[in-house]
Amino acid sequence: MNKKKVLIVDDVDINRMILSDAFHDRYIVMEAENGAVALEILMNQSIDVVLLDIVMPIMDGFQVLAEMKKNNMIDKIPVFLITAETTNQYLEKGYQLGAVDVITKPFNPSFIRRRIENIIELYSHRLHLQQIVDEQMKTLRIQEKQLREANRSVIDTLSTAIEFRDCESGAHVSRIRSMTRMLLYELRKNHYCELSDIEIELIGDAAVMHDVGKISIPDSILNKPGKLTAEEYEIMKMHTIKGCELLENIEQLKKSELYNYCYDICRHHHERWDGHGYPDGLKGNDISLWAQVVSLADVFDALVSERVYKKAYSYQEAMMMINNGECGVFQPRLLLDFNAISLKIYETLYKD
């Protein structure tokens, strides 16, 4: 078993000698005659406990404590102050700077040793516990990353399945993912939402699933080159419900933080701000922000992309149609932020 290291810092030789005699049989004892030397040792050695005099030349004990705190040492290395001063103000300053205990002069070496051994053992247990917690957190982060990657694999596989059914959906879902994230970052920048980076990335992944229910729609309707009949349109509208039914049967996805975003977006990306959307007729902020964002992204992509039933509109035409309410009704604030970055989105995702 490796011996613990004790650093004794005192400008008086006899004090250092007395303390050194108390510890040398069980500990590696290092000595410093002032604070500056002590800091140099602390920067270059692994020290387990410090016995620190307060009144010293060059750098006193309080200055040493302040530097240890500044360099994040104070939580890892217990410091005992050694002083003849017993006023409350003096002692309180030491505790505020991070000292674990104060030893007043004259001192009993054997008594000091017992106190210090208890503290060293306490810190060793705490360090060991922290290492266990850190290892567990590292394992959890790895598992979380693996689960996130597995879930992304699932949604990307389903997106590929849509691509085989619907000729425009392969590139479409990729653009929706990027556009959703770009718009959410813009909304956060303008203090309209407080989503974290991880949440925005998750929502972007969930956006890929918005049309997964189209897997259940007959080819004759899904890829019809002309306008849908009223009956066909009702069948097409069912892709929101069918998509959620599909998601409910993916057990791996249901266990992840991605699931609720996927479900909400899949079901509600055709709801309208005025309440005239489907399938639930939600109105205003009853529609989640992420479903609103995906809805707007979906409409913009449909307008500026060529489809089996239409040619692509120009950027200017698409923006005019969206802002005039010809292709859905959207939250005014969402439209404001979308207008601010729509040209950037178009040039990034569509220009080529």
Q: Report the catalytic residues.
A: 214
Residue type, 39: L
313 contact partners, CB below 8 Å, separation of at least 6: 303, 304, 321
DSSP state for residue 2 in the 8-state scheme: P
Q: Secondary structure of 75-87 in the HEC alphabet?
A: CCCCEEEEECCCC
Residue 248, φ and ψ in degrees, nearest 5: -65, -20
DSSP state for residue 176 in the 8-state scheme: H
Taking a C-beta distance cutoff of 8 angstroms, is the pair 184, 290 a contact? yes
Taking a C-beta distance cutoff of 8 angstroms, is the pair 270, 278 a contact? yes
d(CA 10, CA 221): 88
Residue 111, φ and ψ in degrees, nearest 5: -70, -40
Q: Report which secondary-structure segment, H or E, holds 238.
A: none
